[in-house]
A and B are shown apart, each in its own frame.
Chain A
Amino acid sequence: MDSYNAPESTPSASSRPEDYFIGATPLQKRLESVRKQSSFIPTPPRRKIPQCSQLQEDVDPQKVALLLHKQWTLYSLTPLYKFSYSNLKEYSRLLNAFIVAEKQKGLAVEVGEDFNIKVIFSTLLGMKGTQRDPEAFLVQIVSKSQLPSENREGKVLWTGWFCCIFGDSLLETVSEDFTCLPLFLANGAESNTAIIGTWFQKTFDCYFSPLAINAFNLSWMAAMWTACKMDHYVATTEFLWSVPCSPQSLDISFAIHPEDAKALWDSVHKTPGEVTQEEVDLFMDCLYSHFHRHFKIHLSATRLVRVSTSVASAHTDGKIKILCHKYLIGVLAYLTELAIFQIE
């Protein structure tokens, strides 16, 4: 087949491609960034190893405790239109009435009425990568105890939070009418997530999409989290591969002592403070060859579906559990990056 060679253009034009986008509208800028993203490998070839963030010190430790050791379902979220942090109280009231109305289809409820559930909006001060990142916030649904004498704050039925960690690439492209919190994490019944998501979509003209993590990104997580310096390990490093075969798929689990994993990482790691694509590939290849030597199975032919470390564990379905307080921001930064990639 011929290689395509555009003959010299007919009009003797002097312009170069950059001439096209002088003073382009924000939408064109946005398209430009999509083009850039689509034309290269989807993720940059190097990233920082998660560090302990300074800003994270401000976060209320009680709230951090709420976020750790829970399994979160991940969603990406487009910028919220006309969201205001000063209206959180009002949002609670509206969302509360909305949920009640949705649950008892057909029965109207007054906004502000006293219901047996309560919606609480609260900010997660300090949960950000840079000062420019908008404040993260938390939404909780709490069941109110019927008996007034008992503990007023009842059981937490559902929790969800919105955050943006190092979201510069997204923040640059939107105006002040929008609040960019591209990462949404939910814990609780999916029916609740559905109701609350619907309310947000209607109210702030945003869009939730489930955020899956592909094997490529799981490998990156494995490498980055193994690279984190830990005082003590709380869990073994474990990988789960899935072999698609009928009638039932076969899962292969591979657990390694975290210190061994760290030692392996140190042996492939060269650039201080950073993780590169080559290092990730090498790290995974070492695991594959080790496994092959013992079991004669080529793991590279299967699909990586889950990675668990002492820092966090992630499943390809878009589920995550963060274990280590120190690297909370680091883990979220990478998830934010994936979420932004999905909404760009």
Chain B
Amino acid sequence: MSPQKRFKNVQAQNRTSQGSSSFQTTLSAWKVKQDPSNSKNISKHGQNNPVGDYEHADDQAEEDALQMAVGYFEKGPIKASQNKDKTLEKHLKTVENVAWKNGLASEEIDILLNIALSGKFGNAVNTRILKCIIPATVISEDSVVKAVSWLCVGKCSGSTKVLFYRWLVAMFDFIDRKEQINLLYGFFFASLQDDALCPYVCHLLYLLTKKENVKPFRVRKLLDLQAKMGMQPHLQALLSLYKFFAPALISVSLPVRKKIYFKNSENLWKTALLAVKQRNRGPSPEPLKLMLGPANVRPLKRKWNSLSVIPVLNSSSYTKECGKKEMSLSDCLNRSGSFPLEQLQSFPQLLQNIHCLELPSQMGSVLNNSLLLHYINCVRDEPVLLRFYYWLSQTLQEECIWYKVNNYEHGKEFTNFLDTIIRAECFLQEGFYSCEAFLYKSLPLWDGLCCRSQFLQLVSWIPFSSFSEVKPLLFDHLAQLFFTSTIYFKCSVLQSLKELLQNWLLWLSMDIHMKPVTNSPLETTLGGSMNSVSKLIHYVGWLSTTAMRLESNSTFLLHFILDFYEKVCDIYINYNLPLVVLFPPGIFYSALLSLDTSILNQLCFIMHRYRKNLTAAKKNELVQKTKSEFNFSSKTYQEFNHYLTSMVGCLWTSKPFGKGIYVDPEILEKTGVAEYKNSLNVVHHPSFLSYAVSFLLQESPEERTVNVSSIRGKKWSWYLDYLFSQGLQGLKLFIRSSVHHVPRAEGINCNNQY
């Protein structure tokens, strides 16, 4: 390739690499392409934006100057030239300016590295050149390899070598590939001998070392160095990395306090590096550096058992390598076949290597790693699950601040730990068995206050199981706390039971559809599962009824209860599971006679959904004809119709105490309410009365006295529209579906007896 041609390439490369990030160079590129005859246009453009044009022209000049400078350096110093120093200085300045401003293209870097290390110029020049080798975007691996080869020739001074290593460490992340460089590992390693180079070579090796680079002879060499030089931070860092990869060869434990292990080689290029990173931001993510392990950041902890609660992610290298210092061929083959955890960074990687993943030495460490959580979620490998189970159970027991001893000092830590677990459970949408076992043990001792939110969330993630088995272990203890605690506690419990129900339903609805493919972990019959769910719902019904009495029909509490039933009423349609359970009378009538409109609205919505679900079920039964195991008993329909009659009586037909709620007429007489019959409908119901008044006032603002009984006939439907416009969607749905079209025949015709 002729030099001229190459320079064109360089230019092109420079542009494409900068094109996306630098507006100015894009423009200059466009300008170069212009035909000279179009110069008029340009000058016009220039007039509009004189400063910009000036800069562009400047850029272009710089570009040319840089080419010339690089060309100058490549040719080498011209002896016997008069203006030698001057020319050299000029060209150096040019390179420095461009490099610090925009960075250099990889071809230019290639040439300049070559020059700096070949010893064509003096030391001072080499230093200046090295200091300004700043990539525009990336550095090609080949250039680095070539540069390293110059080190062997012995043409450059010690200080240049040092500077080169510092440069290499600083620019490490911008080298496009590292395979070839890694092949030079042995060469770098040998350079450790040089006392001046040692810290920088250590740093480079620290960045470069892979598991396969760790060899017994190298370990021994490093230990010799340590013996010679004492406890050097850079050696410590490299040694600890070696230990990380080969614990069977070497052992080291770093001081707990944080320490700087490498002198900051990047200082020289700090601002330039930032600029390069900024230019590179976007397409190429910054390569992840190997961490030293949390030994240098974790705080000193009280227990020997665990320095941090969750262990550090570490490949299980002990167990594999035990007993073998020299690795056999088959070992090597196996090793290349397995995928080290340290490299696992993306989901596609996990999928590709799922069969040959090297598992962590302590399974608990997966809790902090979402990719591995995926892994343990789908793996059916018993030892993996059992290791995790044991670790989590024991850690929960040990960390729990009230289980073994009352130690509320470390409450924050325990709360954080529970939060981590809950995050993992939410992420997997699945509860851990260890947590369930932990709840059995710790719930009876819980005061209901400590970590309440976390603890109740654990309850909502109890894996699906037989309710009657779990009840004595969990729910009976929870009920004791429930009845003796504040209304807020009651609401939180109901909330978490609602979430539990939802999790169970989701799990079951998935499980039913997955059944032909995978083996469900619980080999349940559908009937058994439904039975368990229905028992849970009845249990919550019982809790709610009693709680309503204890809290004297609190509206606040009732909201939480109805939230629960909003889930319950839609099981058939939403989850495609054959189950309809109605609410107990204690809840239904409390809601129906509530003074709060939003409660009544919610009740209407729930009744509407019950109706939808029951009609859907009925339809399916009729279609299938065959008598399925899951035909709902006529009792459910009767119950629903009964509730519906009461509701229509209280909201629509003004016959509240006939068919639905039965109250002895004598008692009604005693209340002294003259027109009790008309006192409950959508106008007179206490929770609607205020709406009725506002409606009338809106109609005739002048009126001094309002007569709510005047809402009848046409006015009645206007009033309804008014109510619907006030956001009472539940009421609207209910009336539309259950009343409006059949105002006379209340009830739905899906009774089994029909």
**Chain A residues within CB distance 8 Å of chain B:** 1-2, 4-7, 9-17, 19-28, 30-31, 34-35, 38-39, 78-79, 81-82, 84, 86-87, 89-91, 94, 97-98, 100-102, 105-112, 174-175, 177-178, 190-191, 193-195, 197-198, 201-209, 212, 342-344
Contacts and interface: CB of A to CB of B under 8 A. Distances in A.
B539 A4 contact: yes
Contact of A2 (B322, B325, B440, B546): B546
Given A10-B633, A11-B632, A35-B473, A343 B394 contact: yes
Contact of B629 (A13, A38, A212): A13
| A-B pairs with lowest CB-CB distance, top 8 | A194-B304, A13-B527, A15-B528, A108-B252, A97-B251, A108-B239, A101-B251, A78-B390
A2 to B, nearest CB: 6
22 contacts: A10-B530, A11-B629, A17-B466, A20-B523, A20-B528, A25-B385, A26-B385, A30-B437, A34-B440, A38-B473, A78-B391, A87-B322, A94-B322, A106-B252, A108-B236, A108-B252, A110-B223, A111-B248, A191-B304, A201-B305, A201-B311, A203-B318
Interface stretch (B26-34, B90-98, B578-586): B578-586
A10 B472 contact: no
Interface centre among A2, A10, A15 (most CB of B within 10 A): A10
Contacts of A105: 253-256
B523 to A, nearest CB: 4
Given A2-B542, A27-B389, A35-B469, A11 B534 contact: yes
Interface centre among B253, B398, B436 (most CB of A within 10 A): B253
A43 to B, nearest CB: 15
Given A11-B534, A108-B243, A20 B524 contact: yes
A13 B525 contact: yes
A111 B223 contact: no
B394 to A, nearest CB: 4
A215 to B, nearest CB: 14
A23 B231 CA distance: 58
Contacts of B581: 10
B630 interface: yes
Contacts of B362: 201-202, 205
A24 B436 contact: no
A107 B231 contact: yes
Given A21-B522, A38-B473, A101-B253, 9 more contacts: A2-B546, A10-B579, A25-B521, A31-B465, A102-B253, A106-B255, A108-B250, A202-B314, A205-B362
Given A35-B473, A107-B231, A206 B522 contact: no
A110 B250 contact: yes
Given A2-B546, A207-B391, A24 B522 contact: yes
Given A20-B524, A20-B528, A106-B254, A27 B386 contact: yes
B322 to A, nearest CB: 5
A182 B751 CA distance: 61
Nearest to B235: A108
A75 to B, nearest CB: 10
A257 to B, nearest CB: 35
Given A11-B632, A106-B254, A112-B325, A198 B304 contact: yes
A84 to B, nearest CB: 8
Contact of B534 (A10, A78, A94): A10
B180 interface: no
A48 B525 CA distance: 41
Interface centre among A35, A105, A207 (most CB of B within 10 A): A207
Contacts of B397: 209, 342
Interface centre among A14, A203, A206, A343 (most CB of B within 10 A): A203
A145 to B, nearest CB: 23
Given A13-B527, A108-B243, A28 B521 contact: yes
A87 to B, nearest CB: 5
B472 A39 contact: yes
Contacts of A204: 319
Contacts, number: 241
A30 B433 CA distance: 9
A89 B248 CA distance: 13
Contacts of B394: 78, 207, 209, 343
A8 to B, nearest CB: 8
A204 B363 CA distance: 10
Contacts of B502: none
Contacts of A94: 247-248, 251, 318, 322
Contacts of B385: 25-27
Contacts of A197: 304-305
A102 B253 CA distance: 5
Contacts of A24: 521-523
Interface string B543-578: 001100000000000000000000000000000001
B538 A6 contact: yes
A39 B473 contact: yes
Contact of B528 (A6, A19, A34): A19
A94 B631 CA distance: 66
Nearest to B524: A20
Interface in B603-637: 629-633, 636
Nearest to B314: A202
Contacts of A194: 304-305
B393 interface: yes
Contacts of B528: 13, 15-17, 19-20
A35 B466 CA distance: 12
A207 B390 contact: yes
Given A19-B525, A23-B523, A28-B522, A12 B323 contact: no
A205 B361 contact: yes
Given A13-B528, A101-B253, A175 B383 contact: yes
A11 B437 contact: no
Interface centre among A6, A38, A98 (most CB of B within 10 A): A6
Given A94-B318, A106-B253, A10 B440 contact: no
Interface string B450-470: 000000000000000110111
B382 interface: yes
A339 B578 CA distance: 45
Contacts of B375: none
A102 B545 CA distance: 61
Contacts of A106: 231, 236, 252-255
A212 B397 CA distance: 13
A91 B322 contact: yes
A6 B535 contact: yes
B249 interface: yes
A90 B322 contact: yes
A9 B534 contact: yes
B715 interface: no
B531 A13 contact: yes
A203 B319 contact: yes
Contacts of B325: 112
Contact of B535 (A9, A91, A208, A209): A9
A14 B231 CA distance: 73
A186 to B, nearest CB: 11
A11 B318 contact: no
B390 A206 contact: yes
Contacts of A111: 248-251
Interface in B213-267: 219-220, 222-223, 226, 231, 235-236, 239-240, 242-243, 247-256
Contacts of A201: 305-306, 311, 362
A219 to B, nearest CB: 20
B161 to A, nearest CB: 26
B361 A202 contact: yes
Nearest to B240: A108
Contacts of A202: 311, 314, 318, 361-362
A21 to B, nearest CB: 7
A106 to B, nearest CB: 5
Contact of A20 (B255, B361, B436, B466): B466
A208 B322 contact: no
A91 B323 CA distance: 8
Contacts of B437: 30-31, 34, 344
